[in-house]
Structure 1
Amino acid sequence: MDKETQILEAAMKLLIEHGTQGTPMSAIARAANTGMGTIYNYFATKEELINAIYLYVKRNQLHSVAEPATDEPIKRRFDRYYTSLLQYLVAHPEQFRFMDHYQNAPVLTPTTRQQGLETIAPVADLLAKGQQQGIVKEIGIDELLEFLNGGMMGVVRWVLNNDKPLTQTFLDSQARIAWDAIKQ
């Protein structure tokens, strides 16, 4: 693990445990096993660090999502995206808890938010294609994405807080619930 990733991971853990105000940069340096100067070489402020963690998590999510074949039907592609992201979030509870706390926080800059949206462009494109084919509701793509995100975050929170197993039956039912909510 490179030094920057070490800092991001250590900061994420501390921010989840202690919040923004309860996590001084000195504690992050200790947890990352590095000096304060090294942290400031990468991140000028704690706010910049939080924005970097957000993008780090979004990129990890993007790389984990099963990229379905473009010739598959829209619903099958949607199911693959949805279930693989659900599996990823449950398998990475620290990243989930960070996103659950910070994804709507005012500390995220407009630029960071825009870059975060770019990581889910394949899903937005898929929904748009579904609308063009008349199988996804004619609602703004941003609204659909926000709805799907909120539902998924709630389900992941429930799974993690109640130690629910992720069976294939459960994954299939969650994808079906999400699809039924957005299909035409």
Structure 2
Amino acid sequence: MRRTGTTRRGALTATGAIALGAALSGCGNGDGADVPAGAPVAEARAAAAQVENTLRTTAARTSRGLLDRYEQTIQAHPSAGTGLAPLRDAVRAHTTALSQGGGEALASTRPAATDVRTAVRELAAAERRTADAHTAMLLKAPPELARLLASIAAAGAAHAYLLTELAKETSS
């Protein structure tokens, strides 16, 4: 018995031909005006660079605020410094990666809690807020920055978990 109708090969060939035709018809600038061919591309790249710069600045500022919280907590509670130092160093590396060389210090906004356990819990909450802020920026970020923000957000979530466990183990 002989097959009739559309085969898979025929459907794929037709789909490829339609896609190729659509791609080729979009290659010209369409209106025939005296607009340089690279002008829309250059404008789009400039806009994307501005969005990336704004997102990096915001993310770096958020990470610097978190780094400031670590510094305050370690200064207020030196006994917790051993457990907090590796996490603080990771946050410092994240801040450096986001800030692209420039980084101003933030003014201390609120002192660390007097109780060590409470201070570590507050630090865990700050880590969660920072991770959430970085995650929220993912949809607007270009691919390379999005990957960086995703890894920093994942590290922040892990830090929050570790800080929560450290708070449970810390004596008041």
Q: TM-score when scaled to structure 2?
A: 0.28
- Structure with the greater alpha carbon radius of gyration: 2
TM-score, with structure 1 as normaliser: 0.26
